[in-house]
Homo-oligomer: A and B are copies of this chain.
C-alpha cells in the first residue's frame, strides 16, 4: 500500500501515542496538539507530526488532532482494529501473568490457547482456558486461526517451541526466553528480554 518502508523506531512510538491518547480519551479530552503530546511524553512535537504523517493526514491545521479519531487511525495502522488470536506456550508463573494480563485488556489481542508439556499442568485452567498438551498445538493453531505465539518456556526449550510454532503457520513470535531464536524469513520475532534490560540498567548506575 505505502511504498516507502516505515522504520521500526516509528512503529514502536505508535503504541506509546496510542496509550496516552487512550488516557486522554478516558478523561474526555477531545483534541490534542503535537505540542501538548510532545510535552507530556517527553518527545519532539515535530517527530510526532512526522511519525503520523507517514500514514496520512490525521490532524487539522490550526486545531490539532481529534483524540478519538487519532486513536481509531493508530489502531488501524497497528492492525489492532480486528481480533488477533494469540497462543501462549509455557504455563509457568510468567505464562499465568501474561494470560491474566491480556485477558483484562481492551484490545483485540487475546490469548485463545495455552500449551505446556508438563502433565501436572495439562488440563488445569487459567481463567477460561484449559492448558493443552503441546502436541495439540498444530491443530489448535489452525483451528483457531492463531497468528502470534508467545514463548514463555525455559531457554533450552525455546528454539524447539519456535520451530513448532513456525511449522504450525504462526506469523509472529514474542519471545521471553533469553536466547536468540532462529526462524525462517518472514516470521517476525520480538524479544521481551528481562536480562538485557537489567544488564543495560546496571550500566547506568552511578
* Known contacts A202-B109, A205-B79, A206-B171; is-contact A192 B195 (Cβ 8 Å): no
Q: How far is the CB of A77 from chain B (nearest CB, A)?
A: 7
B12 touches A196 (CB 8 A): yes
A199 touches B93 (CB 8 A): no
Interface residue? A1 (CB, 8 A): no
Measured in the bound complex, the distance between the Cα atoms of B180 and A96 in whole Å is 24
Q: Which residue of B92, B93, B172 is within 8 Å of A201 (Cβ)? A: B172
Q: Which residues of B contact A94 (CB under 8 A)?
A: 93-94, 97
Number of copies: 2
A100 touches B93 (CB 8 A): yes
Q: Which of A80-100 contact B (CB under 8 A)?
A: 80, 84, 86, 92-94, 96-98, 100
Interface residue? A124 (CB, 8 A): no
A19 touches B195 (CB 8 A): yes
A190 touches B197 (CB 8 A): yes
Main secondary structure of the interface of A (DSSP, over half): helix
Q: How far is the CB of A79 from chain B (nearest CB, A)?
A: 5
Give the interface size class of chain A: 35 or more
Interface residue? A63 (CB, 8 A): no
Interface residue? A26 (CB, 8 A): no
Measured in the bound complex, the distance between the Cα atoms of B156 and A4 in whole Å is 39
A15 touches B96 (CB 8 A): no
Q: Mind listing 27 A-B residue pairs with CB under 8 Å?
A: A11-B203, A14-B199, A14-B203, A15-B199, A19-B180, A20-B180, A77-B203, A78-B203, A79-B202, A79-B205, A84-B202, A84-B205, A86-B198, A94-B94, A98-B194, A107-B199, A109-B198, A148-B202, A171-B205, A172-B201, A172-B205, A174-B194, A174-B197, A174-B198, A174-B201, A188-B204, A190-B197
